[in-house]
């Protein structure tokens, strides 16, 4: 689905219900979603719609209630409250901040989340993965088992790596940080934790990382990072700091490495699960899923610019090599 078709879907979120009422038909079920911006989030919204379609709900059979924060975290809670107030049938929560605000706004509205930063059981959203028992289900990443892969890949590419910067958005919580700090300590590596809350914090974080002698950086996952991957890739090159993150778009935008679940794949999974809720299933009995697709992408041009030699073993495992 291209951007033009997304424009039709977004407009339909306003127009379909009015047409239905004019013909005396019942209101369409509503799917609520909060994203960062119309343009940057269009691919994600499109694959959520694809998931709904795969579950049996064509775009003409649902009303999308979309709002955009435009990068301002202060908009999250009031905008989600507004969406919930529209009496949505299900809310699709993109990331931990949206999930947290949605759960605070409504404990009974079904929530289907894709969240790569939260342990849903530890956070109290679910009793267990197989049968959540509440109003939250979705696609969550097993971070403790996963995050060590980032350090492993960086050490393969930068063999003498002893100090790594962790660039972290605190709005997503400490799960990623705790896991990485523990793994780094076991490997006798030093970590520098650098907080970023808004886009303008990125430049300072990379400058501090370089000044402290970091040999590489891990850009921890968050929605803030996803919509700013080009800025992050540019800064890693400017400061000659090899970096890795979860988002494939980072490597494609000029970063050295990305390894993680496919965001678009997870969004499609969530769209399908949201369709199951519309068909009558409840989050309480819908098992929490793991991402179904993982990708390793490396940028050979960036490696050459940073004087990093990518081992043949890493190239052999890569799903995509950018020349």
- In angstroms, how far is the first alpha carbon of the chain from the final one? 27
How would you classify the pairing of strands 294-299 and 63-68? unpaired
Helix (H) or strand (E) holding 102: helix 96-105
The reply to whether 3-141+262-285 and 144-261+294-322 are identical in fold is yes
CATH number of the domain at 3-141+262-285, out of 3.40.50.2300, 3.10.20.30, 3.30.70.141, 1.10.10.10? 3.40.50.2300
CA-closest candidate to residue 67, choices 10, 113, 15: 10
Residues 6+ apart with CB under 8 A from 180: 147, 148, 150, 151, 166, 191, 218, 220
Q: Where are the chain's structural domains? A: 3-141+262-285, 144-261+294-322
pLDDT tens-place string over residues 166-219? 999 998 888 889 989 999 999 999 999 999 999 999 999 999 999 999 999 999
Separation between Cα atoms, residue 270 and residue 280, nearest integer Å: 15
pLDDT tens-place string over residues 225-262? 988 999 999 999 999 999 999 999 999 999 999 999 98
Helices (H) and strands (E) in the chain, counts: 14, 12
How would you classify the pairing of strands 294-299 and 243-245? unpaired
Say whether pLDDT at 6 is over 50: no
Number of Cβ within 10 Å of residue 208's Cβ equals 15
Give the per-residue pLDDT at 25.
Answer: 65
The SS3 of residue 13 is helix
**DSSP codes of every residue in 120-178:** TTTTTS-S-SS---SSEEEEE--HHHHTHHHHHHHHHHSTT--EEEEEE-GGG-SHHHH
Q: Please tell me the least confidently modeled range out of 5-14, 112-121, 229-238, 286-295.
A: 5-14
Task: Tell me what the mean pLDDT of segment 115-141 comes to.
Answer: 94
pTM score: 0.77
- How does 220-248 read in b/e, with b if 16+ C-beta sit within 10 Å? bbbbbbbbbbebbbbbbbebebbbbbbbb
CATH entry 3.40.50.150 includes domain 144-261+294-322: no
């Amino acid at each position: 689905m291209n951007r033009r078709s997304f424009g039709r879907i977004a407009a339909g979120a306003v127009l379909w219900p009015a047409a239905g009422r004019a013909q005396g038909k019942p209101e369409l079920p509503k799917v609520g979603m909060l994203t960062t911006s119309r343009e940057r989030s269009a691919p994600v919204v499109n694959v959520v719609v694809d998931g709904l379609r795969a579950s049996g709900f064509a775009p003409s059979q649902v009303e999308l209630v979309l709002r955009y924060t435009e990068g301002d975290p202060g908009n999250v809670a009031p905008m989600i409250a507004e969406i919930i107030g529209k009496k949505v049938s299900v809310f699709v929560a993109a990331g931990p901040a949206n999930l947290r605000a949605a759960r605070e706004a409504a404990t009974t509205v079904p929530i289907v989340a894709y969240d790569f930063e939260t342990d849903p059981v530890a956070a109290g959203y679910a009793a267990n993965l197989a049968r959540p028992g509440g109003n939250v289900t979705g696609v969550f990443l097993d971070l403790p088992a996963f995050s060590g892969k980032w350090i492993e890949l960086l050490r393969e590419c930068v063999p003498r790596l002893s100090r790594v910067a962790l660039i972290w958005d605190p709005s997503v919580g400490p799960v990623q940080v705790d896991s990485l700090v523990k793994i780094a300590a076991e490997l006798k590596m030093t970590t520098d934790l650098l907080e970023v809350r808004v886009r303008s914090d990125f430049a300072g974080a990379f400058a501090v990382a370089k000044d402290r002698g970091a040999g590489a950086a891990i850009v921890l996952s968050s929605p803030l990072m996803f919509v700013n991957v080009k800025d992050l890739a540019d800064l890693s090159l400017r400061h000659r700091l090899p970096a890795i993150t979860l988002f494939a778009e980072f490597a494609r935008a000029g970063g050295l490495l990305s390894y993680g679940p496919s965001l678009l794949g997870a969004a499609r999974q969530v769209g399908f699960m949201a369709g199951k809720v519309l068909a009558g299933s409840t989050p309480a009995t819908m098992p929490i899923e793991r991402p179904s697709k993982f990708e390793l992408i490396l940028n050979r041009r960036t490696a050459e610019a940073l004087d990093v030699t990518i081992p043949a073993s890493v190239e052999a495992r890569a799903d995509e090599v950018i020349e």
